[in-house]
Amino acid sequence: MKAIIYLLGTLVLLAGILYGASAAGVPQTWLIVIGLVIGGLGLMGAANSVSGKTKAVETTSGAGQAPRTKETTISTDV
């Protein structure tokens, strides 16, 4: 679900940029290049937003010291 929302946002952004560039007289070749770049960035962002990441929390304490918490992000990608 998160990836779908991300991709829909990318499509709205892409449509707005392409419409504005077209209205400004940018050649069609550059509109295609802009579309491919923004579309690719949107796909990479959507894939990154749903990748398998978990957070590990480690609590340590020394003698007479307050406990300290360390949070680490672990990627489950192969």
Picking from 6-20, 43-57, 60-74, which range would have the lowest pLDDT averaged per residue?
A: 60-74
pLDDT tops 60 at residue 77: no
Amino acid residing at 65: Q
Distance of CA 69 to the CA centre of its chain: 27
Q: Which token pair is 64?
A: 């007479």
Give Cα 1 to chain centroid, integer Å.
14
What band does 11 get if pLDDT is binned at 50, 70 and 90? Answer: very high
Domain that holds residue 42: 2-75
Mean pLDDT (the chain, rounded): 83
Total tally of structural domains belonging to the chain: 1
> pLDDT of 29-51, one tens digit each?
999 999 999 999 999 988 888 77
- The DSSP result for 7-62, as a single string, is HHHHHHHHHHHHHHHHHTT--HHHHHHHHHHHHHHHHHHHHHHTS-EEEEEEEE--
